[in-house]
Structure 1
Amino acid sequence: MGTIVRIWAILNLIGLSHADKSSVNILTPSGSLGAFEEEDILRVLSRNKTDTTKNFTFVELISSLGNYTIDAEKDIWSDGRLEMYQTNPHYENFPEEIDLEARRFLQILPAYDPGAGGVSAECKRHSDIFHEELAKFTLWALKMYDATAKVPSGLLNGNINQFGDFDECVGVEGKDGIRGQYCLAYLQLDVDQSRPDLKYLHRLLHSHYAFRSNMTDPGHRVPRFSTVNWAVCTPASCTAQDVKVSLQHAISKYTTQTGLKITLHVDEEMCQVKKELVLSKATIATSLLFATVFILTLVAAYYDHCEISASELLLSFSLKRNVRKLFSLERPQGDIASLHGIRFLNSVLLVIAHKSMAAFFTPYVNRTYMSEFLGKSWTVIGRAASLYTDPFIMLSGLLTTYSFVGKLNRTGTLDIKNEYLSRLLRLVPTLGALILFCTHIMPYIGSGPQWPLVVTNHANICKKTWWRNFLFIHNYFGFENMCLTHTHHVGIDTQLFAISPVMVLLLYKKPKIGVIVLGAIALISTILRFYVTYTRYLNNYVYFGTSIRQLFDTADFSYTLPSHRLTVYIIGIFAGYLLRNIPKDFKLSATTLYTGWTVCTVMFLAAFLGPSKMGSIDYVYDPIHAATYNAFAPIGWCGLFLWMAITQHTASSNGFLNKLSSWRGFLITTRISYAVYLTQFPIYFFNVGQTRTAEQYEFFRIMINLKEIIWILFTSIILTLLFDSPFQNLKNHLLKKSVLQKDKTKPLKIE
């Protein structure tokens, strides 16, 4: 078709020499016939009369008439520095043609007016310049126009979050010092509830309300699923309030006297401009700290490898020693083998559940399909994130008690001060390294439409509240204002560990009273979970259509409180006490084994599959159902894992599950499990912040992202080798030295 058009145009032009003064029809770029006077054509032909080497050739004439942009003297449009031109250099030659084309083009796709409404004077002035240059097709103005989101296809399939073009916008440099500013505005769409037609369309637009949210909900931890994200590119002189006013003015023109109501909000932090990289003193200091630790590990490795005499404190950082220790398959004395497989399984499930939540931040061209796909019962695996943390609480109670009782059996005493010190040296260095990285380095290593929301916002919170994390009390201040919200589990576990000596000593010295007291506390904790969930309409399970406010309230009033997690912790204390004191030759009878496996499996399936209907797209919230789940699911879920540990440790059962969970390879995953728990969300949020365009949702491609998995493993290994292992070595050295000094100062006992 293109060849035919060219031939037709050439044949028409050949006849120009015989034409009279009447107009000549040619094919315009729009595909319609336009009229050009012969004078106009002669004017084009007559350019550069004095220099025949620069006259238009016949082919160049066709290109000039067809595109109005090709300049034989200077191909401006191929210049790599286009923004240096403050106005279109071709406008002088083709003012009428460009004006006509601009009017037609902008009638079809009107430009967003950042100067509409009661905006500031400077914003209005720059907006007028923008429109003036856009009408001339000046490139920087076209880029600003192009970077602003447009109404797309697939709205009824959930393609409503439009990010425009982030990099194109922030790269704009125009006339009179105008710079591009990228703003991601939040829009709330409401419809006339008396209109069932609009209600159904609204449901499709919002992907069946997989989450319900308002613009006032905090969006840095859980996505505002019901809020529309819409990008606009404005001059940097326009404030967030200016953008809100101008957008409201534009929207009102199209929604007046309709059944649609749109409210909007523009956060100042969500308006971004291209900034020069200026590192803060804290960032430089943090970078130097990490560099120092890295160099220290290499120096220590050199001393270790060359067997040069050095302090044990230095050798604790030896990369060679710590790599060998990390990948060792030798079991420590008194190891409960099956616990490593149990920890690995729940770690994997937790990674999947956290990824499921992070995936909802990303815009999808088929988001409605995604919601329909996930609105099935089997999605329980990604919705029960809280369930997967309970085994870690239980294992903490079990291992703490197992260790304490062992020491009490050997020495009759418990050095609580050393236990607390050991705990701090185990947790603080790795946690501190992560907080420093996420607060002072991570904000500088990326950018994107949602970067301020999911990265910078977290960093700002940590700058104010980091001290709560190091005191392990951050879980009491609410999810919304918590530094690195996913670390709430560390606070809960540490607080439970702090009171564990009292519980263990009570159980050790007075077993009967201890069982009664601890059992009563566990029962009270269970009742608390049920009561609070029922009375406050909470839900510890992410059901279909849950609200963001309900999720935060559930976290604040139940999930992050140690008093509500005591049940499984005390169950772990009972199990640790039992495993330490059970006779080595003790064997469970066949009847006991059969009954135990049956009961624990039924409890496990009830905890896992019982809430499956909550994932249904048609689920209606039931407070009794939610309260029952929150109260009893943790017990059922942990029961099977405890039974596996007991049967394996007593060698009463050697079935497939016990063999699998006792595989030596899980020793390695146990050593990096703490780092995996800490690093997964920063990696997820890094990718969310970097996302610039809508993706096609495909379950396995999104959920099993090999790049993310590799990065989680890589950063976890690095964090373990640089901080976790060295400080554990230091802990062992210091505590061993402390014990030796105590032994030396003890008076000799004469018998």
Structure 2
Amino acid sequence: MQRRLVLLLALGAATPARGEGEAWFESPPVLPAVVASSDHLPQGLCRNHSREFLRQLRNYTLWAVQMFDASTKVPEGVVAGATYQMGHFDECVRASWGEVRGQYCLLELSYRPLRPHGGQAADPYLKDLPPQLHVWEKLKRTRDYTKVARDELHWALCLPASCAAEDIQAALDRELQVAGERLGLQLSARVSPRLCSVAGRDPPYSPGEITFVCVIGTLLLLLVSSTWYDLKNYPADGSKDSLDIGAGEGSLLKNALLSFSARRSLKSVLNTRVSHPATDASNGPRFLFMVLIIFGHRMTMFVGHPLDDAYILDRIFLTVSNGFILNGTLLVDSYLVISGLLLSYHLLIELDGHKGTNLALALLIRYVRLTPVYMLIVFFHATVFHRMGSGPFWEEVVGTDRDRCRENWWTNLLHVNNYVHTEGMCMFQSWYLSCDFQLCAVALVLVYSLWRWPWLGYSALALLCAASAVVPFLAVLLTRADPFLVPIAQHVRDPVDSWYFRNIYIKTHNRAAPYFIGVIVGLIMFKMRSSKFKLGKVTSHALFALLVWTLGTATMLAAFVFFDPARPYSAVEAALYASLHRVGFGAAIASYFLLIAFGQCGVYQRVFSWKPFTVLSRLTYGAYLVHTLAQLYDHGSLRAPRPTAFFSVAWMTMSDCTFAFVTAFFLLILVEAPFRAMEKVVFGRK
């Protein structure tokens, strides 16, 4: 008996010729029965269980009907862009009887007509097609990369767990060929083992997972015992330094133990003492930009992932103001400017006060401050995170991340993962940490040269600034790449799989310009630290509006010219923007700090130096490390397509931020602050 496959409206892309029998929408068979009854299933348990499933289905047996009910039979909304037909995951994996257990697989089915439909062709860049056109004009993939593809469906299928992915693939290959010939379509399917799930197949706990639990237990034990010892022996006496490590005499072991005191860590977190008007005014932007980065990463969960309607995404590139979202990766550059500024300014202060410093020790101290909490999160990704949920995409999303972290954790440890094994990067956002650390190593030598040998330092600074603009220009020009990471499905569904992300976006030599701009700002602030120079109030606010708001906004929105897929590509134009847009945005951030330091922008200084911002800014590092955990968990456990609405994104961003900053607070108390205090104990720093 010839098997047929239901593809509903998608299969209507090619209308059967007159005389070929019933129309494509009449009495269609369903996919679970097509595969279960296929003669191309291998002999053995898979075929036997599939036949038993069909027999019990005819008898209305509960477990068989549950498996059938959990599969997609008739898809909905394909033309609207609802290409994920996800069935019912939990009903499938809970269904069982004897040796037969339900297995949920999310197939990837591609289709296209075998013959042209003969109707009028549509403009490939037109979003709203005339209703009289053939449906294939809406469904087909075109040169418009901003359009959500509708020629590939993801289809839920519930079959016996004894059928391996390759068994299902073998049956589908033949059955789709038969169905395609009848319907005038070329049909193909891919069955990925990572998109097939069976309940109760978790392996026993690994040594790595046990070790992670022991590490957390040890840290908690240190936290409790240190806090108890601190409270018992060092009651607060009101002195501002009474809780500082090293404030009094004590053994190395005792001070090391006290480093883990929650009371002392909390004191360091809540400290809001004033340092410098400009550096204090970095606290507000650090917090607000982190919220926007979390929002941007949440937005990527809506691009290339299950949606119930693609109408908004199809048109998001048409509005200029959306450039704030679509070119939002520029926000990361603000942290590079701040990092370069703080390193330059504070290192020059130290060099001037102590007439020298140990650069290797300075780099080691930065490594010790940043790495412990970072590697704890990497350890979590590689071990127990995978055991915390399930879902149609769990193995593909969380399982893939687990495997990458298990294989390449050492590249994170050495801060080289933006150059080494980038195709298996653990924690896609961790590229920034490597980039920042590498630039810190360069900047330490550069700033020392500026202090010790000014002529050499200024020459090196000029050369590095020029190179940081020329190198991304050449990278884009020679590869004919996009000028920035365009947030389309192939770039953001899994950033690590994106060629642009791996080869251009995360490379330090393409991201260096904002950092060196920050170094220049720190140098200017150091040179003028004793100066009484102040711009007038009107001039200050006029320059703030021009250099901060206007330049920053123009730099982000200028990307709009590249959002038009019908516009001819110019490699020179793309290379120029790739070279200059980070310089422009970095200059806008630099102008903010210079105007705070040497202008009369008191309102901005007061707002962004607000004491709650000071506290929250200390949590941004931890929030950056952990916020993707909530997003990966959410995507991996997703059971149904999402509604596409800005309010939905905003609501989920608020939950992401709450999770990220609350978790960051506990990590700061448990790991980050103790290891910073330990660093002071070990290296004898106050």
Which TM class, normalised by the smaller chain length? 0.7 to 0.9
User: Which position in structure 2 is the counterpart of 1:304?
Assistant: 230
User: Which position in structure 1 is the counterpart of 2:670?
Assistant: 722
User: Which position in structure 1 is the counterpart of 2:560?
Assistant: 612
User: Which position in structure 2 is the counterpart of 1:387?
Assistant: 330
User: Which position in structure 1 is the counterpart of 2:84?
Assistant: 161
Tell me, yes or no, if structure 1 residue 710 matches structure 2 residue 658. yes
Aligned equivalents of 1:715, 1:680: Cα separation in 2: 9
CA gap 1:190/1:304 in 2 versus in 1, 3 angstroms = farther
User: Which position in structure 2 is the counterpart of 1:378?
Assistant: 321
CA gap 1:515/1:269 in 2 versus in 1, 3 angstroms = same
What's the offset of the Cα at 1:428? 0.9
Q: Deviations along 1:399-454, whole A, 9 cap, x unmatched? A: 11112111110111111232122111111111111011111011001000000111
Q: Deviations along 1:15-68, whole A, 9 cap, x unmatched? A: xxxxxxxxxxxxxxxxxxxxxxxxxxxxxxxxxxxxxxxxxxxxxxxxxxxxxx
Q: 2:523 aligns with which of 577, 596, 602?
A: 577
Q: 2:108 aligns with which of 174, 186, 189?
A: 186
**AA partner of residue 171 (structure 1):** R
Q: 2:594 aligns with which of 621, 637, 646?
A: 646
Matches of residues 385-424 of structure 1 in structure 2 within 5 Å?
385-424=328-367
Q: Deviations along 1:451-495, whole A, 9 cap, x unmatched? A: 011101110111111111101111113543111121011111111
Aligned equivalents of 1:226, 1:659: Cα separation in 2: 54
User: Which position in structure 2 is the counterpart of 1:137?
Assistant: 60
**AA partner of residue 608 (structure 2):** S
Tell me, yes or no, if structure 1 residue 285 matches structure 2 residue 211. yes
What's the offset of the Cα at 1:655? 4.3
Aligned equivalents of 1:181, 1:470: Cα separation in 2: 38
Tell me, yes or no, if structure 1 residue 635 matches structure 2 residue 583. yes
Q: How many residues align?
A: 624
Q: 2:159 aligns with which of 210, 228, 234?
A: 234
CA gap 1:440/1:540 in 2 versus in 1, 3 angstroms = farther
Tell me, yes or no, if structure 1 residue 111 matches structure 2 residue 33. yes
What's the offset of the Cα at 1:192? 6.1
User: Which position in structure 2 is the counterpart of 1:691?
Assistant: 638
User: Which position in structure 2 is the counterpart of 1:681?
Assistant: 628
User: Which position in structure 2 is the counterpart of 1:735?
Assistant: 683
Matches of residues 510-521 of structure 1 in structure 2 within 5 Å?
510-521=453-464
Tell me, yes or no, if structure 1 residue 339 matches structure 2 residue 339. no
Q: Is the 8 A contact 1:469 1:491 kept in 2?
A: yes
**AA partner of residue 233 (structure 1):** C
**AA partner of residue 516 (structure 2):** I
CA gap 1:623/1:153 in 2 versus in 1, 3 angstroms = same
Q: 1:659 aligns with which of 574, 582, 606?
A: 606
What's the offset of the Cα at 1:286? 0.6
What's the offset of the Cα at 1:335? 7.1
What's the offset of the Cα at 1:605? 2.4
**Structure 1 range deviating more: 266-275 or 701-710:** 701-710
What's the offset of the Cα at 1:568? 1.7
Q: Deviations along 1:599-658, whole A, 9 cap, x unmatched? A: 4544322211111244457666543443222211111112122122122223x2224333
CA gap 1:435/1:583 in 2 versus in 1, 3 angstroms = closer
Q: Is the 8 A contact 1:473 1:491 kept in 2?
A: yes
**AA partner of residue 457 (structure 2):** G
Q: Is the 8 A contact 1:530 1:627 kept in 2?
A: yes
Q: Is the 8 A contact 2:272 2:611 kept in 1?
A: yes
Q: 1:488 aligns with which of 431, 435, 438?
A: 431
Q: Secondary structure at the match of 1:474?
A: coil
Matches of residues 72-83 of structure 1 in structure 2 within 5 Å?
none
Q: Secondary structure at the match of 2:233?
A: coil
Q: Secondary structure at the match of 2:155?
A: strand
What's the offset of the Cα at 1:333? 7.0
Matches of residues 393-542 of structure 1 in structure 2 within 5 Å?
393-477=336-420, 479-542=422-485
User: Which position in structure 1 is the counterpart of 2:221?
Assistant: 295
CA gap 1:447/1:613 in 2 versus in 1, 3 angstroms = same
Aligned equivalents of 1:282, 1:608: Cα separation in 2: 44
Matches of residues 16-35 of structure 1 in structure 2 within 5 Å?
none
Q: Is the 8 A contact 2:485 2:491 kept in 1?
A: no
Tell me, yes or no, if structure 1 residue 247 matches structure 2 residue 195. no
CA gap 1:115/1:328 in 2 versus in 1, 3 angstroms = farther
TM-score by length of 1: 0.77
Q: Secondary structure at the match of 1:475?
A: coil
Matches of residues 3-152 of structure 1 in structure 2 within 5 Å?
111-122=33-44, 123-152=46-75
Q: Secondary structure at the match of 1:231?
A: strand
What's the offset of the Cα at 1:542? 4.4
Q: Is the 8 A contact 1:117 1:246 kept in 2?
A: yes
Q: Is the 8 A contact 2:295 2:649 kept in 1?
A: no
What's the offset of the Cα at 1:589? 3.9
Q: Secondary structure at the match of 1:476?
A: coil
**Structure 1 range deviating more: 675-684 or 204-213:** 204-213
What's the offset of the Cα at 1:204? 4.2
Aligned equivalents of 1:537, 1:154: Cα separation in 2: 36
Higher RCO (Cα < 8 Å, 6 or more apart): 2
Aligned equivalents of 1:158, 1:198: Cα separation in 2: 20
Q: Is the 8 A contact 1:356 1:703 kept in 2?
A: no
Q: Secondary structure at the match of 1:465?
A: helix
Q: Secondary structure at the match of 2:96?
A: coil
What's the offset of the Cα at 1:207? 9.6
Aligned equivalents of 2:121, 2:191: Cα separation in 1: 26
CA gap 1:495/1:717 in 2 versus in 1, 3 angstroms = same
Q: Is the 8 A contact 1:544 1:614 kept in 2?
A: no
Q: Is the 8 A contact 1:380 1:615 kept in 2?
A: no
Aligned equivalents of 1:261, 1:393: Cα separation in 2: 50
CA gap 1:105/1:600 in 2 versus in 1, 3 angstroms = closer
Aligned equivalents of 1:240, 1:149: Cα separation in 2: 18
User: Which position in structure 1 is the counterpart of 2:272?
Assistant: 329
Q: Secondary structure at the match of 2:619?
A: helix
What's the offset of the Cα at 1:185? 1.6
CA gap 1:126/1:306 in 2 versus in 1, 3 angstroms = same
User: Which position in structure 1 is the counterpart of 2:505?
Assistant: 559
Aligned equivalents of 2:616, 2:483: Cα separation in 1: 28
Q: Is the 8 A contact 1:211 1:544 kept in 2?
A: no
What's the offset of the Cα at 1:276? 5.2
**AA partner of residue 551 (structure 2):** M
User: Which position in structure 1 is the counterpart of 2:94?
Assistant: 171
Aligned equivalents of 1:258, 1:702: Cα separation in 2: 40
CA gap 1:341/1:209 in 2 versus in 1, 3 angstroms = farther
Aligned equivalents of 1:674, 1:191: Cα separation in 2: 51
